[in-house]
Amino acid sequence: MTDAVLELTDLDVGYYRDLNILSDLNVVARRGQVTAILGANGVGKSTALKAAFGFLAPFKGDVLLEGESVRDVPTHEKILKGLAYIPQQPGVFRDMTVEENLLLGGWTFRGDRAQVRRKLEANYQRFPALRDKRRQATGELSGGQQRMVEIGRTLMAEPKMLLVDEPTAGLSKMLANEVYVMLTDLAVKDGLTILLVDQEIRQALKIADYVYVLELGRNKYEGPASEFKDLEKAFWVA
């Protein structure tokens, strides 16, 4: 059995026909690993995640989830199959409490109250800071805590695969470090597979197992993250 959880194969993707953002893109995210897509602004990193999740329909190529094509599967069905997406911009409901936000993530098994409570408790154990704030409006939380709520809500659905777009955009260095630790724990302790897009190249290299570098919407380099520790080697970094 292959260890590939998500595969993007020969993808052409764009917002207009014959004007590709991505061309012949190939990416594999392996089980229990953090895979990072890196590159300069505008090379199509976030577009790759949107195509994987179904926000953009590829013109060519395929999206495989555990060997099954999900290219034409509606986004809500992808969620049921275990694929989850955490966007760059915060997506919490600011006027709702922390717990209400988390409970929204359990809609896939909303008929099983015991399971919902177990997943909710698991999130409070994972993010202890949220337990004390569970009755507080989410909009009153810090940016890092809102990110915790967003990730916790996503985990309520028990995903196999997380697509994470710029997880620390707009956060202070201290809060950003907390988010990176959180993502590492999800892969190492919880066994989740993560495909990460990030502008924070050095931080991404610290937590990634495998790296893809894009240039002009195409694969340029790939390899274990350890091969990219010397950033001078990766001359795409100024």
- pLDDT tens digits, one per residue of 175-220: 888 889 889 999 988 899 999 999 888 889 999 999 999 999 999 9
> What is the CA angle 21-27-28, rounded to 5?
160
Q: Where are the domains of the chain?
A: 1-82+159-238, 88-158
pTM, full prediction: 0.89
Quick one: pLDDT band at residue 1, thresholds 50, 70, 90? very low
Q: What is the largest CA-CA distance in the chain?
A: 54
- Strand bridging mode 60-65 / 68-69: antiparallel
Q: How far is the C-alpha of 80 from the C-alpha of 70, rounded, in Å?
A: 12
- Collapsed DSSP state (helix, strand, coil) of residue 187: helix
Q: Are 87 and 50 in contact (CB under 8 A)?
A: no
Identify any residues that bridge with 58 across adjacent strands, giving them in sequence order.
none
Is the pLDDT at 110 greater than 90? The verdict is no
Residue tagged 């196999």 (tokens)? 160
| CATH hierarchy code of domain 1-82+159-238 | 3.40.50.300
| Nearest in space to 168 (alpha carbons), one of 155, 158, 177 | 177
